[in-house]
Chains A and B, each alone.
Chain A
Amino acid sequence: MIAPKHILGTFDEALASLRNSVLMMAGLAERSLDRAMKGLLERDDDLCAYAIADDEEIDQLEKQIDKDGVEILLRFQPLASDLRRVVSAMKLSSNLERIGDQATNIARRARKLNQHPPLAEIELIVPMQGQAVAMFKDSLDAYVREDVELARAVVPRDHELDELNRTTGRRLVDRMAQDPEQLRGYLNLLFVSRHLERVGDHATNIAEDAVYAAAAEDIRHQAAAVPTEA
């Protein structure tokens, strides 16, 4: 949705620049996660190294977005949808940075796993990857297109990912008991599972921020706000 231009052209430029930085950061985080997962599943150390290298740029963009956001608040004192856009951009960048960190963590675990023969249990990670990556992509699409319904739909999917993480964890712990020789490998897979679960949490946060940016509605922590029956 394209809002009419501000009377102050420099304000439009500053908002556009902030948005571009967020989109670039999102693209880098997506690429980094994709490279880390391919590095794991295809046992490619080079891709792992690229994923880790991406993190530096993601971190720099986080700082840039914070700086630009503060400058917009200072110089233009945005209100209404402008204010929500600036606030959500700054919150989004924090979540994107954390997703970049998770991608780096996955890449580091993958490099350790790649030093040893492949484990059949890597298959447990595949559905988790599918779920986490799809949630992340949809949350970003919802933010970019200001699609409130798509954003809302991302939130409950996090429960499915949490359940996958629990199931994967139980299976891997069982395998550790059965095959202690491979304990280190299973442990690394366990961590990868947790990192993907965290990606889902950050995607959920992004979806919630997308709803706030587009509709000024705070949908966070709604389950906690509902009183439970005794």
Chain B
Amino acid sequence: MTTPERTAAERVERPVEPPPVDESVPAHTFEVKNLSIWYGEKRAIEGVTMDIASNAVTAIIGPSGCGKSTFIRALNRMHELVPKTRLEGTVLLQGKDLYSSNIDPAIVRRRVGMVFQKSNPFPTMSIGENVVIGLRLNGVRDRKFLNERLEKSLRMAALWDEVKDDLHKPGTSLSGGQQQRLCIARTLAVEPDVVLMDEPCSALDPIATAKIEELIYELKAKYTIVTVTHNMQQAGRISDFTAFMYLGRLIEFGPTTKIFTNPSDKQTEDYITGRFG
């Protein structure tokens, strides 16, 4: 039997289609203008201006203490949990001032979810309870609705197949990587607009890291993602835009490929090539 001849074009494996993008979403989810933040007398961020693209992954990089975690916490007002903080400048979330006096921080944090460096499932709750706790705290009692949202969130976090038969088991019974995906599912369950991630893979092994990175790539079709990372290679793999911060200032911000092949600023070049200090 002979194999039919194939043209060169037919031999080409089709690349994986990128996730579809909702064109009704505005180009920028956040517009940050001249943002400065103080913890007591210490200025942690100084005059940062940055527009964060919708349905894209933006990575914030920089040495420890450069203000990157403070910056992403300011995107859902979580930095206010630290006493004696002060903020100047504006942060617009889809055109609305996040720090307007009539905005409830609790609602902001529902629209802008956060995943932390160390997975933090509630230790006394089951896997299922962990995912829907946000909805329950918001007064949702409809069991059918909660079950649907539970499955949907766990599927989006690529965890459903691994835990669907163990939903009653404690969240802390899962592996580190699974716990982190559980926390992502918990964040997604309240259907936020934005997912902030503060070094989400720094405590994970390479396989768990790869699963989270794959998940981030898939999630950007629906969500705007801002992630802090110390891992340059990870920033290069997962992000569309990269911001380099140093000593509380935004030094350079642009497409990731540009930042990692030909940065405009010497400080960026020195940092990403390991010449700092």
Contact = CB atoms under 8 A, between A and B. Distances in A.
Interface residues of A, number: 17
Given A7-B275, A7-B277, A82-B273, 15 more contacts: A3-B273, A3-B275, A4-B270, A5-B275, A6-B273, A6-B275, A7-B274, A8-B274, A77-B232, A79-B272, A79-B273, A80-B268, A80-B269, A80-B272, A83-B261
B273 A78 contact: yes
Interface of A: 3-8, 11, 76-84, 216
Q: Give the dominant DSSP class at B's interface.
A: helix
A79 B275 contact: no
Interface in B239-277: 260-263, 268-270, 272-277
B101 interface: no
Contact of B233 (A7, A11, A77, A82): A77
Nearest to A3: B275
Interface string B130-157: 0000000000000000000000000000
A79 B270 contact: no
A8 B272 CA distance: 13
A83 B273 CA distance: 9
B275 A4 contact: yes
Given A216-B261, A216-B262, A81 B273 contact: yes
Q: Nearest 10 pairs between A and B by C-beta?
A: A216-B262, A79-B272, A4-B275, A6-B274, A82-B273, A79-B260, A80-B269, A7-B274, A80-B273, A6-B275
Contacts of A3: 273, 275
Interface size range of chain B in the complex? 10 to 19
B276 A79 contact: no
Interface of B: 232-233, 236, 260-263, 268-270, 272-277
Most A CB within 10 A of own CB, among B236, B269, B277: B269
A80 B264 CA distance: 10
A174 B67 CA distance: 75
Nearest to A4: B275
A134 B274 CA distance: 37
Nearest to B277: A7
Given A77-B232, A79-B232, A79-B236, A11 B260 contact: no
B277 to A, nearest CB: 6
A7 B262 contact: no
A217 to B, nearest CB: 8
A113 B232 CA distance: 58
A81 B259 CA distance: 11
A141 B67 CA distance: 43
Contact of A81 (B232, B236, B269, B276): B269
Contacts of B268: 80
B274 A80 contact: no
Contacts of B261: 79-80, 83-84, 216
Given A4-B275, A7-B274, A7-B277, A80 B233 contact: no
Contacts of A7: 274-277
Contacts of B273: 3, 6, 78-82
Contacts of B236: 79
